Amino acid sequence: MIDSSFQNFLWFLRRPKMYPEMIRRLGRKIGSIFGLEREQRTSEARWRIKEKTRHWCALKAVDTETAILKITGKSPTVKFSEKFKDLIEEQQKLIESIPNRMGGQGNLEIIYQLAEYVRATRAIETGVSYGWSSLTLLLSLNEREGSQLVSTDLPYFSEHSESYVGCVVPDRLKSIWTILPYADREALIDALKILPQIDLCHYDSDKFYQGKMWAYPLLWQALKPGGIFIADDIDDDFAFRDFCEEIDRPPWIVETPFTNDIKYVGILVK
């Protein structure tokens, strides 16, 4: 335990861009040491919140096809999973061959069809991992001249994880892609300097309620009218529900198969 904390500390120490995140995490750690009992209760409470959130999502959720139809007014002529079947299979084999296990993918069908629907040329995503959502966005953006994707990603704390971030994205798509490899709190500010107005955003990084409630308004503000806001894993907590209430917009909630379970993706149209 002490070993892994110390290793994480050394990992951060070698990356000055991540010092602010290191200080934030240190603060959280110290807080949990001095309030251990409260922290345990908090983790139990977190599970109860997750149960309630999933219930809230389930009441409103539709499947992927229905969401696309309702939002775009038509069913896609070809599914993303069929159109790029060979590339997806090839890249799937690639990640099976690498040692590092990283975070799972968002709802790629939704991301692709909605990027096509708004004919996105400017997109920001938070959370890259292997790069499935990045690949999906880039395959759509690449069809339109002058397009740009800016992604933020705090890599996993292991020596080799950084070299695998975005590894499913082929070189031919990288000229329109910028990755900012540090925490959202700094990286999202920089991403919005590069793209102050966007057609679409995909949030899939910091999974804490506070992190989401900090980032969602910034992304929403940058979206053009008619732009698409997609948030992954909205069933972890009530951040997405609270944000929808704050801006007074009705969301679409999409039930998404995920390993042997389901998860929920939230969508807002500005």
Q: What residues line the site for ligand SAM (CB under 6 A)?
A: 102-106, 126-130, 132-133, 152-156, 183-184, 204-206, 211
- Closest CB to ligand SAM belongs to which residue? 103
For ligand SAM, the closer of residues 184 and 236 by Cβ is 184
For ligand SAM, the closer of residues 64 and 129 by Cβ is 129
Assign residue 73 a region: left if phi > 0, alpha if psi is -120 to 50, beta otherwise? left
CB of 105 to ligand SAM, least distance (A): 4
DSSP 8-state symbol, 188: H
Q: Are strands 148-152 and 223-231 parallel, antiparallel or unpaired?
A: unpaired
Other beta carbons within 10 angstroms of residue 268's beta carbon come to 22
CB of 156 to ligand SAM, least distance (A): 5
Nearest to 187 by CA among 154, 163, 158: 154
For ligand SAM, the closer of residues 74 and 160 by Cβ is 160
CB of 37 to ligand SAM, least distance (A): 27
CB of 127 to ligand SAM, least distance (A): 3
Q: Which two tokens stand for residue 216?
A: 């969602």
For ligand SAM, the closer of residues 226 and 231 by Cβ is 231
The residues, ordered by sequence, that sit 6+ positions from 31 with a Cβ below 8 Å of its Cβ are 39
